[in-house]
Amino acid sequence: MSVSSVSSGARPSSRAPSLGESNASHGQTHQAMVTASVDVGGTFTDVVIQRDNKIVSIFKTRTTTQNPEEGVLSALRQATRLEINEIVHATTLATNALLTGQVSDSFRTGLVTTEGFRDVIEIGRQNRSELYNLGFDRRRPLVPAEYRHEVERRVYRGGKIESQLRRRELARAGSEMKRAGVVSVAISFLHSYSDPKNEKTAARLLRRRFRFVSVSSEIAPEPREYERTSSTVVNAVLMPVVSDYIRKLRRGFRHLRSSNLTMMSSAGGLIPLDEVYRRPVQVIESGPAAGVVATSELAKALGIRNAISFDMGGTTAKAGTIRDGSVGITSEFEVGGTSHHGRMTKGSGYPVRFPFVDLVEVSAGGGSIIAMDREGMLSVGPESAGAHPGPACYGLGGLEPTLTDANLVLGILGDSMLGGELKLDSISARRSLQKLGNPLEVAEDALRLADLEMARAIRLVTVERGLDPSTFSLIAFGGAGPQHAVRIAKELGIRRVVVPPRPGLFSAMGLLFSDWKFEARMAFPVDPRRSFAKLETDLTRVHQSVTFQRFADCRYSRQGSELTVKVTTPSLPAIISEFERSHEAAFGFRLKRSVEIVSIRVFALATRSKPRMRAGSTTKFTVGTRQAVIDGRSVSIKTYDRVSLKPGARVGGPCSVDDYGSSIFIPPDWRGVVGNAGEVAIEETRP
CB hemisphere CA count around 65 (13 angstroms) = 15
Residue length of the chain: 687
CB hemisphere CA count around 182 (13 angstroms) = 32
Partnered with residue 112 across adjacent β-strands are 149, 187
The conformation of residue 402, written as its DSSP 8-state character, comes to: B
Q: Are 364 and 380 in contact (CB under 8 A)?
A: yes
Q: What is the pLDDT of residue 373?
A: 84
Lowest-confidence region among 53-62, 156-165, 359-368, 424-433: 156-165
Choose among 685, 209, 278: nearest CA to 518.
Answer: 278
pLDDT in tens, 381-390: 788 887 678 8
Q: What's the mean pLDDT in 177-201? A: 90
Q: What is the pLDDT of residue 14?
A: 29
Give the three-state DSSP class for 87. Answer: strand
Q: What is the pLDDT of residue 195?
A: 82
Q: What's the mean pLDDT in 600-612? A: 86
Three-point CA angle 411, 412, 416, nearest 5°: 75
Lowest-confidence region among 80-94, 231-245, 308-322, 554-568: 80-94
pLDDT in tens, 453-498: 899 889 988 888 888 999 999 999 988 899 999 999 999 999 999 9
Going by their DSSP bridges, the two strands 422-423 and 416-417 should be labelled as antiparallel
Please state, as a whole number, how many other Cβ atoms lie within 10 Å of the Cβ of residue 639.
18
The residue that leads in pLDDT, 349 or 401, is: 401
Q: What's the mean pLDDT in 363-374? A: 86
Q: What is the pLDDT of residue 309?
A: 94
DSSP characters over 149-190: EEE--EE-TTS-EEE---HHHHHHHHHHHHHTTEEEEEEE-T
The residue that leads in pLDDT, 620 or 237, is: 237
Q: What's the mean pLDDT in 521-538? A: 92
Burial of residue 210, with CB atoms counted within 10 A of its CB: 0-12 exposed, 13-18 middle, 19 or more buried:
middle
Q: What is the pLDDT of residue 546?
A: 83
pLDDT in tens, 616-655: 655 556 778 999 999 889 999 999 988 888 899 999 989 9
Q: What is the pLDDT of residue 254?
A: 75
Q: Decide if pLDDT at 250 tops 70.
A: yes
Where is 517: in which H helix or E strand?
strand 516-523
pLDDT in tens, 275-300: 888 999 999 888 888 889 899 989 99
Choose among 176, 192, 183: nearest CA to 113.
Answer: 192
Q: Decide if pLDDT at 223 tops 70.
A: yes
pLDDT in tens, 113-156: 998 888 998 888 877 767 777 777 777 888 999 999 988 766 65
Give residue 570's identity as a one-letter amino acid code: P
Q: What is the pLDDT of residue 91?
A: 83
CA atoms of 649 and 657, how far apart (whole Å): 12
Q: Decide if pLDDT at 15 tops 50.
A: no
* Largest distance between two CA atoms of the chain: 80
Enter the pTM of the model. Answer: 0.83
CA atoms of 489 and 472, how far apart (whole Å): 10
Q: What's the mean pLDDT in 367-374? A: 88
Q: What is the pLDDT of residue 5?
A: 32
CB hemisphere CA count around 540 (13 angstroms) = 10
Q: Decide if pLDDT at 344 tops 60.
A: no
pLDDT in tens, 491-516: 999 999 999 988 988 888 889 988 88
Q: Decide if pLDDT at 531 tops 90.
A: yes
Distances (CA, A) of 192 to 83, 121, 201, 213, 659: 47, 17, 12, 16, 53
Give residue 284's identity as a one-letter amino acid code: I
Q: Are 49 and 39 in contact (CB under 8 A)?
A: no
Partnered with residue 552 across adjacent β-strands are 565, 600
Q: What is the pLDDT of residue 395?
A: 84
Q: What is the pLDDT of residue 187?
A: 95
Choose among 3, 17, 14, 78: nearest CA to 608.
Answer: 17
Q: Decide if pLDDT at 574 tops 80.
A: yes
Partnered with residue 55 across adjacent β-strands are 50
Q: Decide if pLDDT at 158 tops 70.
A: no
Q: Decide if pLDDT at 682 tops 90.
A: yes
Where is 76: in which H helix or E strand?
helix 68-79
Q: What's the mean pLDDT in 46-64? A: 83
The conformation of residue 291, written as its DSSP 8-state character, comes to: H
Domains parsed from the chain with CATH numbers: 1-84 (no CATH), 102-243 (no CATH), 286-364+467-512 (no CATH), 368-448 (no CATH), 516-606 (3.30.1490), 623-681 (no CATH)
The residue that leads in pLDDT, 71 or 266, is: 266
Distances (CA, A) of 581 to 127, 465, 487, 564, 576: 29, 12, 33, 12, 9
DSSP characters over 519-588: EEEEES-SSHHHHHHHHHHHHHHHS-S-EEEEEEEEEETT-SS-EEEEESS-SHHHHHHHHHHHHHHHHS
Task: For residue 551, name the pLDDT band (cuts at 50, 70, 90).
Answer: very high
Give the burial string for 216-252 (b: 16+ CB within 10 Å, else e): bbbbbbbbbbbbbbbbbbbbbbbbbbbbebbeebeee
Give residue 376's region: left, alpha or beta (phi > 0; psi -120 to 50): left
Averaged confidence pLDDT in the chain: 83
CA atoms of 524 and 553, how far apart (whole Å): 10
